[in-house]
């Protein structure tokens, strides 16, 4: 059995990989240009039910192609992770995955189990369960809010409602 820190780091890497997946495309497609790199920020995640809420520091943050895409990942090894990949321009976006676009919000949260154990459970929204509002984002930083309703775990056994905020700055 993996230790909690190693397990959540592995789940976080999996969540980032799932969130960053794109559909199709040619290998000859030029690499996107990074418009800004963020090194600091915080995500505050509130979850209803037997799931632990948490605050996590930014680990990875990039604004790509002038705001076409924002990718941020926050990790708290004792609480969970939040990863957002989607539009980086002000507006409200439902999570989705189509042939031409992806907007995803991935959470890994601790779920209070019987006997006090806290297994970490991954949740990934690409089907409209979450709405993300980008309030501001540019090379000086940005902030956003999110709301998720009946977000299913990857194995479908748990559904959660979650809200929160995240920000990033150079």
Q: What is the pLDDT of residues 9-56, one digit of tens each?
A: 444 444 444 444 444 444 566 777 999 999 999 999 998 866 778 899
Domain with 75 in it? 4-20+33-168
Q: What is the number of domains present in the chain?
A: 1
Q: Does residue 26 belong to any structural domain of this protein? A: no
Collect all residues with Cβ–Cβ distance below 8 Å to 89 and sequence separation of at least 6. Answer: 67, 68, 134, 137
Q: Does residue 103 belong to any structural domain of this protein? A: yes
- Amino acid 139: pLDDT: 92
CB atoms within 10 A of CB 159: 14
Q: Does residue 100 belong to any structural domain of this protein? A: yes
Q: Which residues, in sequence order, are bridge partners of residue 72?
A: 61, 84
CB distance 139 to 162 below 8 Å: no
CB distance 170 to 63 below 8 Å: no
Nearest CA to 72 among 98, 37, 35? 37
CB distance 71 to 60 below 8 Å: yes
Q: Which two tokens stand for residue 26?
A: 């040619």
* pTM score, whole prediction: 0.79
């Amino acid at each position: 059995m993996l230790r909690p820190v190693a397990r959540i780091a592995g789940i976080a890497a999996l969540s980032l990989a799932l969130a960053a997946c794109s559909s199709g495309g040619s290998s000859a497609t030029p690499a996107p240009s990074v418009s800004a790199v963020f090194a600091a920020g915080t995500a505050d995640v509130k979850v209803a039910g037997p799931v632990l809420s948490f605050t996590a520091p930014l680990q990875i943050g990039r604004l790509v192609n002038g705001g076409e895409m924002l990718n941020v990942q926050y990790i708290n090894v004792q609480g969970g992770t939040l990863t957002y990949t989607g539009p980086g321009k002000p507006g409200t976006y439902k999570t989705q995955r189509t042939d031409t676009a992806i907007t995803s919000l991935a959470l890994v949260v601790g779920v209070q189990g019987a006997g006090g154990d806290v297994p970490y459970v991954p949740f990934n929204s690409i089907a409209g369960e979450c709405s993300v509002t980008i309030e501001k984002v540019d090379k000086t930083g940005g902030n956003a809010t999110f709301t998720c309703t009946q977000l299913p775990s990857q194995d479908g056994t748990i559904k959660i409602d979650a809200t929160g905020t995240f920000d990033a700055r150079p």
